[in-house]
Copies of this chain bind each other. A is one copy, B any other.
């Protein structure tokens, strides 16, 4: 038998793996490669000891391990190589690997909806003021939560979320957003993304149609895409999503994603007439409206507009929210408010799809909300963001010399600045990132090619301190001019 591999000297010195391990690996390799053919006897331990200068115990341990793992068998004559069907074949079968190279169709088609850029840079859209979050109070709240229920709180918990948190969320939504719900309808999710993915899994089948706003939120495109839905982009104007009458007949949707209180990213508020129209049509068509209320907590101007979900009794609305902007993104706690009509029927599936967990964080958040710390933090942030938006507006007035139109800002963490088509927003966005600020390109939120309607910049003011705006926007203005 060819055992050259086996008898070649072992690696020595620092960094070399233990000799027993080296020897074991050699034997496995030789057996799998067929160098030691099935049924053949393994070399006598004595010969190995002499050749490799290893102790007899080392060799015996190696043989024992080979037997234990099924590479060899012991019989009266000694230790023999096991008969391993297909071992040789599979070791050389990489040619047949083509099949296993395949991935799902999704992987091929799921191109990044947009490059989020380096979100630690100033002017990043949708990023809250991380350095203003009371992180130590937060960690203390977790320790208190731990004291309440050690050590059970380390276990899985309720797949739908901690009852205390579901109650706190329901209470908050009823009062602050006019949402009609009981705690039993609230499901705690892995951020808003988890809620969107849950909407798809609970309410849509592969191949069905889903509508989204254009320009719109890339995350929902990803969620629809992952659920193998046909995505139809609907235009957006100053009154929010604008659905052509005939679309309801020609390609009715199972799911319709909207951001009524602050369209993402244009900032348009969906008018009451359109809200009612949408609900009425959705009822007729058997569609579910996904109301994504992603940053309505930060209302800056005008009167707070209550959520669509509460507008009419039993509206076919799936209400989605997140604490990524009100607390901090890494928390990854969002929620879905199920419609009453979904009822108990959905719970077995929910118990299968969700695994609970993150109980310390959920209990601490429940205490944060119930104890008033959450709304105090919201109040502080609302004032802060109002000042910052004002500072951004003034900087734009003063420094952005080219023709432009500022939109949005009634609520949230960003402004949209439309630019003439001559100024390529994607180019400007890329240049701004190179210049140390993460300004988004409006057209990159759109499935349509860049055009007058969707050419502009999306500028966040949440995580940028007041004094930074003037110098940053001056620099940005230079970039814009240079690309006109």
Contact = CB atoms under 8 A, between A and B. Distances in A.
Given A146-B139, A155-B130, A348-B112, A84 B330 contact: no
A112 B351 contact: yes
Contacts of A283: 90, 93-94, 96-97, 99-100
Given A65-B303, A70-B273, A287 B99 contact: yes
A271 B348 contact: no
A303 B341 contact: no
A178 to B, nearest CB: 9
A222 B352 CA distance: 6
Interface in A155-205: 155-157, 190-191, 193, 201-205
Interface in A221-254: 222, 225-226, 228
Contacts of A341: 97, 100-101
B135 A150 contact: yes
A65 B99 CA distance: 63
A417 to B, nearest CB: 24
A3 interface: no
By secondary structure, the A interface counts as helix
A204 B103 CA distance: 7
A276 B279 CA distance: 57
A26 to B, nearest CB: 14
Contacts of A222: 352-353
Interface stretch (A46-54, A356-364, A427-435, A444-452): A356-364
B102 A155 contact: no
A156 B116 CA distance: 11
Nearest to A329: B156
A408 interface: no
Contact of A106 (B69, B190, B349): B349
A79 interface: no
A113 to B, nearest CB: 7
A352 B65 contact: no
Interface string A247-284: 00000000000000000000000011100110111111
Nearest to A204: B104
Contacts of A102: 203, 286
Contact of A352 (B112, B146, B287): B112
A68 to B, nearest CB: 4
A208 to B, nearest CB: 9
Contacts of A111: 348
Given A154-B328, A190-B190, A332-B355, A71 B272 contact: yes
A214 to B, nearest CB: 17
A153 B156 CA distance: 25
A271 to B, nearest CB: 6
A370 interface: no
A384 interface: no
A153 B330 contact: yes
A11 interface: no
Contact of A107 (B86, B110, B349): B349
A108 B421 CA distance: 50
Interface in A21-75: 32, 64-65, 68-71
A285 interface: yes
Nearest to A311: B32
B358 A316 contact: no
Contacts of A313: 94
Contacts of A204: 104
A156 B99 contact: no
Given A85-B273, A94-B314, A218-B352, 9 more contacts: A70-B271, A93-B283, A100-B288, A103-B202, A135-B150, A139-B142, A155-B330, A206-B207, A330-B360
